[in-house]
Amino acid sequence: MRELTILNPTAGKGKIKIEGAYVTKEGGDCRRFVREACLEDPDTHFTVYGGDGTLNEAVSGIMDAGAGDRASVTSVPTGSGNDAVKTLDTHSAGKEVMIDLIKIGSGYGINMLNIGFDCNVVASAQRYKKAPLVSGNLSYIMGVAREFFRPFGEPFRVEAECADGEVFSFDEPALLCAVCNGQWCGGSFHNSPLSDMTDGVLEMILVRKMGRGSFINMIGGYKKGTLIDRETGELDPKYEGKIIYKKIRRMSISGCKTICSDGEIFSASSAEISVIPGAIRYVSPEKQKTAGSPRR
């Protein structure tokens, strides 16, 4: 199998140099490069140095080329959040697994979609992390603090097909909606602890509009992943009426303003979202890679 290495030049605040790597030039360039490489030879393994956005582009390029069953990818986390690998690299080192993807419109997500408060936090965090000495985790926490004092709630309308066959409907103001393939967001928020990228379903966490006092009481559990009982797989009863948790196969949402997919934000007032089971071949690193030690 052909081996190619891709480097996002902003990874590691621009300090990483890898001989022989393809260095991306701008947003979308990684996706283009991977698509063209797969069309030339679909039996290619890509080692990607970057964050969630770069990994998303690599995966999207593989899908664009229709090479999900032949090409494979490994992520070396050198971005600010690196959330996807926290779920992906729980597999045995060097093991290849077929992982699910999120389909959103004509695009793809690998880790998580955040809509509402979460998305607004990411937008703020992206501004903060450009400052010297501000880490990815700190920038996210600063984003949470900023959005806390802005108006709460957006008029979401949701229709979802649940994994158990239930048709779920929601039409009222909500604080946020997270559609999860992976378990983590924002660098340190373990909001969906039961998400499994190989199970063929997504987790939807829908938080109703609430006051700031209730939000403070909820956000700690959202960060630690204790909203969901890990033994029963159900929502903790103390959050009934405030949070809706569903395993879904597809959904539509409207009433939103922006959507964050793997850390990248785009404007959208509505979206069609679904899971693509077993879409991509992912290979966990054989050992912890460091800059300058790319897979050959």
pLDDT at 236: 93
- CATH architecture label of 112-276: Sandwich (2.60)
pLDDT tens readout for residues 148-203: 888 888 999 999 999 999 999 999 999 999 999 999 998 889 999 999 999 999 99
User: Which of 191, 183, 185, 157 has its CA nearest to residue 171?
Assistant: 157
Residues 6+ away with beta carbon under 8 Å from 194: 183, 203, 228, 230, 233
Res 91 pLDDT > 80: no
pLDDT at 290: 44
Is residue 252 a contact partner of residue 270, using CB atoms and an 8 Å limit? Answer: yes
Whole-prediction pTM: 0.88
Is residue 192 a contact partner of residue 243, using CB atoms and an 8 Å limit? Answer: no
- Per-residue pLDDT, averaged over 54-83, amounts to 94
Res 296 pLDDT > 70: no
Residue 86 confidence class, pLDDT cut points 50, 70, 90: very high
Q: What SS3 class is residue 158?
A: strand
pLDDT at 79: 81
117-128 and 136-148 helices, crossing angle to 10°: 130
pLDDT tens readout for residues 230-284: 999 999 999 999 999 999 999 999 999 899 999 888 989 999 999 999 999 999 8
pLDDT at 191: 94
Kindly report the CATH class assigned to 2-101.
alpha beta
Percent of the chain surpassing pLDDT 90? 68
pLDDT tens readout for residues 203-219: 999 999 999 899 889 98
- Per-residue pLDDT, averaged over 87-105, amounts to 87
* 2-101 and 112-276: identical CATH topology: no
Which helix (H) or strand (E) segment is 37 a member of? helix 29-40
Res 67 pLDDT > 60: yes
- Per-residue pLDDT, averaged over 132-157, amounts to 82
Residue 295 confidence class, pLDDT cut points 50, 70, 90: very low
Beta-sheet pairing, 22-23 with 2-7: parallel
Res 288 pLDDT > 60: no
Q: Where are the domains of the chain?
A: 2-101, 112-276
Residue 294 confidence class, pLDDT cut points 50, 70, 90: very low
pLDDT at 287: 62
User: Which of 152, 140, 112 has its CA nearest to residue 260?
Assistant: 112
Residue-wise DSSP of 62-104: HHHTT-TTT-EEEEEE-SS---HHHHHTTSPTT-EEEEEEEEE
Mean pLDDT of the chain: 90
pLDDT at 9: 92
More confident residue, 80 or 181: 181
pLDDT at 71: 98
